[in-house]
Amino acid sequence: MPTRADINYFGAGPALLPTEVLEDAAKALVNYNDTGLGIAEHSHRSEIATTIINEAKADLASYLDIPDNYEILFMQGGGSGEFSATAYNLVGAWVARKHKELGSEDSSAEKLKSAVKNLKLDYIITGGWSKKAAAEAERLFGSEHVNIVADSRKSNDGKFGTIPEESTWNLSKDAAMVYYCDNETVDGVEFPQFPKSLEPKGDDGPIVVADMSSNILSRKIPIQNFSAIFFGAQKNLGSTGITVVIIKKSLLPQPSVALMKQLGLPIPPRILEYEAIAKSNSLYNTLSIFDVYIAGRVLKKLLQQYPDKVQGQQAVSESKAQLIYSALEAHPSVYKIVPDKTVRSRMNICFRIQGSDAAEQNFLKQAATLGLTGLKGHRDVGGIRASNYNSVSVDGAKKLASFIGTFASQGGNQ
């Protein structure tokens, strides 16, 4: 029977968590701070819960250098819920902005109706998650309001694995938002840096929204380039159950329900309305305080471990990724790395073994006997995927890199 110390887990999510955080959480689940109750039993309206939420928000802001003009929200529904929430809320913010520009005259509603005809939500499709986000926007608002800025499959033989050149992007002039997924877990594609064509141009936008579910906390982010960032907790932050949104406070106010209905636009369920969640300090409904607690403990550990905050973790993440990619590159006749070299993810290292599916199954079987688990590729694409999240140790990355070399020296199919 293997112990926790025997396993190096490379699963894509839910992902590995620091052992000391789990041990602390296990105690808190039974008896939190000698209160006689477990943390999951305390009211989410209690002072204990409020303190946990506020400390987690403060530590996240410190670790990522989030400015005061942004709000941090703890929500539910995962990244998939945010595909809907971002579209709902930022269309609302767009309407509020247009309404203010047009003034309050009687004719403003008619002018707004005319303006809504040109409403666009922009999507940059580079993998399965951005594809799903765009599809959700089409389902909610109609294809006439969704603009596909770029689709990497069109220039890559129908497959994901690249990011189209920015010179080919077809950005709308006044989009309610421009969405992209910073790291695509399925195909191992990561934006190497913030896109130049989306850099701020004064006060007029663009309104940039990023899904950072799988690479948050792993590298420094130019927060002020974004209008909103969202991420599920279960990759680098904590356990499954909470989703975090970082959003400019100026985008929180929403137009009236009556106005949205008059314009023929959908309104979000209250539980997905950022303004309502912000006003209640993320306690509009019963939030899982236990999951916020775990996230908070992860953040405190990171802040203690890295005096230079996220930059320290970034150096480690890049080092681990380089170890694994170098091992793969050393044996090109055995391994084929899936994405183009210019967009290789540091978080999800996707590769195939040349020859046959049987060779990949043998790789997975041999790896498991060494305690290298969670390496099976996504069900839609197959292959091998090593998810190199923050809690994967340097020693774990070294062990995987060593096995990659050993397997190749055996001929890649032993």
CATH number, position 325 = 3.90.1150.10
Does 218 fall in a domain? yes
Contact 177, 163 (CB under 8 A): no
Residues 278 and 315 grouped into a single domain: no
Same domain membership, residue 234 and residue 113: yes
Instruction: Please report whether residue 1 resides in a domain.
Output: no
For the entire predicted model, the pTM comes to 0.96
* One domain, residues 122 and 143: yes
Whether residue 161 lies inside any domain: the answer is yes
Parent domain of 186: 47-300
Rg from Cα positions in the chain: 23
CB 187 within 8 Å of CB 128: yes
207 and 255 part of one domain: yes
Helices (H) and strands (E) in the chain, counts: 11, 14
Q: Where are the alpha helices (DSSP H) in 274-393?
A: 274-279, 289-305, 310-329, 357-369
Q: Centre a 10 Å sphere on the Cβ of residue 5 and count the other Cβ atoms it contains.
A: 8
The gap between the terminal CA atoms of the chain, to the nearest Å, is 26
- pLDDT (tens place) for every residue of the chain, 414 residues total: 889 999 999 999 999 999 999 999 999 999 999 999 999 999 999 999 999 999 999 999 999 999 999 999 999 999 999 999 999 999 999 999 999 888 765 556 788 999 999 999 999 999 999 999 999 999 999 999 999 999 999 999 999 999 999 999 999 999 999 999 999 999 999 999 999 999 998 777 799 999 999 999 999 999 999 999 999 999 999 999 999 999 999 999 999 999 999 999 999 999 999 999 999 999 999 999 999 999 999 999 999 999 999 999 999 999 999 999 999 999 999 999 999 999 999 999 999 999 788 999 999 999 999 999 999 999 999 999 999 999 999 999 999 999 999 999 987 665
Residue 144 DSSP label: G
Measured CA to CA, the distance from residue 213 to residue 206 in angstroms comes to 21
